[in-house]
Structure 1
Amino acid sequence: MHDKFEKATGRSIDDWMEFFGDPQELSHQDLARLASEGGASEWWAQSIAVEIERMIGRRQIGQTVTGSIAASASKTVPGEWTEVFDKFVSFMENKQLADAPRITATDTWRYWRADLEDGSQVAVDCSEVKGKTRLSAKIDKLASMEKRDLAKEKWRALLNEFAETLPSQ
């Protein structure tokens, strides 16, 4: 599990732990900033900070920096990413949501966000990855770790169901 840190940054997670000194005294932001200053890319700096927080007992797998519980699921599918996103929006029209979804866009991303009936929230982002489309769902504000597992299964199945509606390429 920890080999990924050494492969990506040249330091094992234990080396990063030593680099930080006493991580209990450092906030998540401090850990990420120091990891970045220590040579990790921004993405890896965040991953290192999260893993260190898990190691020192500050957070569990699936727990965000604010203490809420989150889950994620993703699916890579064929097709031009903006067209796939539009199809995803249509696919989600008849799903039960607490409120209308919020859709935003940049030149390289599309976002679909919604409040769910159980009080949790979901954000699905869509982008082009090596000529395909990646849809990534992040479900936040889950009530328990059990709900996390159920949300992960549900969104994985939902993304797979959506993928089956797309033409194969």
Structure 2
Amino acid sequence: MIAHDTFSRSIRQQLATIQSPVPALSAEPVAAAQPHARRWAAEPLHSDARILENTGHGWDDWAELIEAGPGRDAGHTAIAAWVHAEHGVPGWWAQGVTVGYERIAGLRLPGQMPDGSFSVSRSRVLDLPAPLLRAALLDGNSRADLFTGLDTELRSKPASKALRYTVRRAGHPLGSLLFSADPVPDGRLRVTVTHDKLPTVDDGELWKQYWADWLAAVAAVTDPAAQAKVD
């Protein structure tokens, strides 16, 4: 088995070839603020023009239709199913309508915790020895290579099954990370990264992609021919 410091340096080199930069401290809304007939708790991710073009209704219309149909308390799954079934909106756009409505109405969004923060998680099955990953995660110098541009501090006990860290960049808090590793029947390891305490749903989407890239880099180093799947 290779040394954990060699492993972490290889990950850093691989990340430089495939990974987008560390996300900004706070994501900007995708849709620009625009005048509308009702008070919105937050701007949806898609503009009114784009949602009208792809679904046949603008945001104010969708808000009225949903509240007259399944209702604001129906829940994400029921609203998305209703948008698809009753209005013939394809699945991806039905989800977009639902998330946009939840933002407009100020409802809790997917991934949002009771305190209002957001949590995202990515996992991948890797051909990776568990002791190698743990040794790299517990060594501060190795973590500097594993998480370029981020400052991490171990918050759990070193012997804990899952390892939790606070994460900062240039002194600014970026939430907390939880790493878990579980064996799968074929002898490989399912590695899961959970990023908690993110301020917005947009930050969650950016970090979800970041951790997918990170896991892809680990897979490329440990088994370039692997047919691993990101969940």
Which of 132, 143, 160 matches 1:92? Answer: 143
Does structure 1 residue 116 correspond to structure 2 residue 168? yes
Structure 2, unaligned runs of 5 or more: 1-72, 74-101, 227-231
Structure 1: which 5+ residue stretches go unaligned? 1-23, 25-53
How far residue 75 of structure 1 moved from its aligned partner, in angstroms, is: 1.3
- Deviating 4+ runs (over 4 angstroms): 87-91
Answer 1 or 2: higher relative contact order, Cα 8 Å, separation at least 6: 2
1:105 aligns with 2:159: yes
Deviations 1:22-68 (A, max 9, x none): xx9xxxxxxxxxxxxxxxxxxxxxxxxxxxxx9xx863201123321
2:205 to 149, 156, 162: 149
Instruction: Quote the offset at 1:89 in angstroms.
Output: 5.4
- With normalisation by structure 2, the TM-score equals 0.41
Against the structure 1 CA distance between its residues 89 and 160, is the aligned structure 2 distance closer, same or farther, given a 3 Å change threshold?
Answer: farther
Alignment check: 8 A CA contact 2:144 2:150 kept: no
Are 1:101 and 1:115, in contact at CA under 8 Å, matched by a contact in 2? no
CA distance in 2: counterparts of 1:151 and 1:112, whole angstroms = 17
Which of 187, 199, 214 in structure 2 is aligned with 1:158? 214
The answer on whether the counterparts of 2:162 and 2:178 sit within 8 Å (CA) in structure 1 is no
Higher strand share: 1
Asked whether the equivalents of residues 119 and 195 of structure 2 are also in contact (C-alpha less than 8 Å), the reply is yes
Using a 3 Å threshold, how does the CA distance of structure 1 residues 102 and 165 change in structure 2: closer, same or farther?
farther
Equivalents in 2 of 1:132, 1:112: separation in Å? 22
SS at match of 1:100: strand
After TM superposition, the structure 1 = structure 2 runs for residues 48-87 of structure 1, keeping only pairs within 5 Å, are 59-87=108-136
* Cα offset, 1:102, TM superposition: 4.2
TM-score (norm 1): 0.54
Q: Which SS does the other structure have where 1:156 is aligned? A: helix
The alignment-based identity, stated in percent, is 19
Q: Give the direction of change, closer, same or farther, for the CA distance of 1:88–1:163 in structure 2 (3 Å limit).
A: farther
